Amino acid sequence: MKDVGSFHFFLRIEVKYFNEGIHLSQSNPNPGAVPSQSSAYTALQAWKSAITDDPSGILKNWVGPNVCSYKGIFCSNSQDYMGNPTDPVVTGIDLNHANLQGTLVKELSYLTDVSLIHLNTNRFSGIIPQTFRDLSSLVELDLSNNHFSGPFPTTVLFIPNLLYLDLRFNSFTGPIPEDLFNRKLDAIFLNNNQFDGELPQSLGNSPASVINFANNKFTGNIPFSLGYMGPRIKEILFLNNELNGCIPEGVGLWTDLQVLDVSFNSLMGHLPDTLSCLSGIEVLNLGHNKLSGDLPDLVCSLRNLVNLTLAYNFFSELSQDCDKLPLRNVGIDFSLNCIPGRQMQRPQPECSVIPGGSLSCLRVPAVKPLVCG
């Protein structure tokens, strides 16, 4: 299985929503217990009791009522409704790479001022408590690289201000809900789980800039609604699933898209001519599918292209512009296709029967040269 972490382009933008206007600090001018921190103390002590292994001793100083001094807990100064300063409140939890083993507890919902929970690379298991929907200030939730399992944790869909959701590298199973793409999430990472079923048609409603479906067991077609996604989409990865059918014509509407990876699926048919409209595309990976026909003429002329992978398909023609890509320092791999006169192609017997040759993909006939935009 391919590890999406090996792709040089993966997650080039570091999402830091919580730092916009929020200052996190572990200092507390009052080392004693304060009333505003009593619920935080209850929540964190309940969670500490549910952690069964702490090999690095991260939680050794989780003692006493001054929760702002706890390792991995961050506080910010707060104000009341009149703008007067009040006692510090817990606004962040960052226990990345702590190697903690345990479960999440329902009492964490008491932390209604927390805007960030980062728990990646631990050994947390079980389910996400239903009470997480009460985390009204939460913007970032990173539960990646743990041992969580079961169906998609639908409670996260009811966290009102959530923008960043990272569930990758866990053991979640089953389908993903339609409502996931009706929320205002800007980053959705579902890769490297065991999700299955068809991708919801509601995908086209998502305002996200980054979506990663890689390394799951999704089946069926890429939703036609894809073309209706907002203009903010920058990266979308479908690689290493069990998707089939055509690449939707609407994909060409994403003029700001930088990364499109549909590799290691069973996609068939001709490519839509609208791929030529991906003026912002840098990485286009179509490899290891059953695609056929010719590559739209203008794809190899896209000015921002850095890497184009066509390998292990059944393409039969490339334009002359593709020969110029190495001169632009653009990586291109068209090996193991059916292109006459090219080296490292499939044996002729394999090219005599094209998979999905009878598949009818929507391809708008071009009487005139394609006009994008």
pLDDT in tens, 295-339: 887 899 999 999 999 999 999 999 888 989 998 999 999 999 999
Residue ranges per structural domain of the chain? 22-174, 213-362
**How much is the average pLDDT of 235-244?**
98
Confidence (pLDDT) at 15: 40
- The band of 28, judged by pLDDT with boundaries at 50, 70 and 90, is very low
Confidence of residue 110 (pLDDT cuts 50, 70, 90): very high
The reported pLDDT for the residue numbered 364 is 47
- Can you give the pLDDT at residue 237? 98
Question: Taking the alpha carbons of 161, 139, 215, 290 in that order, is the dihedral positive or negative?
Answer: positive
Q: What is the pLDDT of residue 251?
A: 87
Structure confidence by residue, pLDDT tens digits, 250-277: 888 888 999 999 999 999 999 998 899 9
Q: What is the number of other CB atoms lying within 10 angstroms of the CB of residue 200?
A: 19
The class level of CATH for 22-174 reads alpha beta
Please say if the pLDDT value at position 363 is more than 60: no
**Cβ contact 169:142 at 8 Å:** no
pLDDT band at 35 (very low <50, low <70, confident <90, very high): very low
> What are φ and ψ of residue 181, in 5° steps?
-95, 5
The token pair at 271 is 């490519």
Residue 63 has pLDDT above 50, yes or no: yes
Q: Is the pLDDT of residue 243 over 80?
A: yes
Residue 141, pLDDT > 80, answer yes
Q: What is the β-pairing status of strands 194-198 and 217-221?
A: parallel
DSSP-H helix ranges across the chain: 38-49, 348-351
**Cα 373 to Cα 369: distance, rounded to the nearest angstrom:** 13
Q: Residue 147 pLDDT more than 90?
A: yes
- Written as six digits, the tokens of 193 are 């789980």
Asked if residue 17 has pLDDT above 70, the reply is no
Q: How far apart are CA 45 and CA 63, in angstroms?
A: 8
Please give the pLDDT value at position 308.
96
Query: Which residue has tokens 């998979």?
Result: 355
Residues near 63 by beta carbon (within 8 Å), at least 6 away in sequence: none
- Round to whole Å and give the CA distance between 63 and 32: 12
pLDDT of residue 316: 93
pTM listed for this prediction: 0.89
Q: Mean pLDDT score of the chain, rounded to an integer? A: 87
Q: Strand pairing partners for 140?
A: 116, 164
Intrachain domains 22-174 and 213-362 with the same fold: yes
Q: Around 39, how many Cα atoms within 13 Å sit in the side-chain half-sphere? A: 13
Specify the pLDDT at position 10.
Answer: 39
Structure-derived torsion over alpha carbons of residues 90, 113, 24, 123, reported in degrees to the nearest 10: 70
Q: Say whether pLDDT at 217 is over 90.
A: yes
CATH 3.80.10.10 is the classification of domain 213-362: yes
Per-residue pLDDT band for 23 (boundaries 50, 70, 90) equals very low
CB 129 within 8 A of CB 108: yes
Whether the pLDDT of residue 350 is over 90: the answer is: yes
Q: Kindly compute the dihedral angle of the four CA atoms of residues 356, 362, 367, 371, in this order, to the nearest 10 degrees.
A: -120
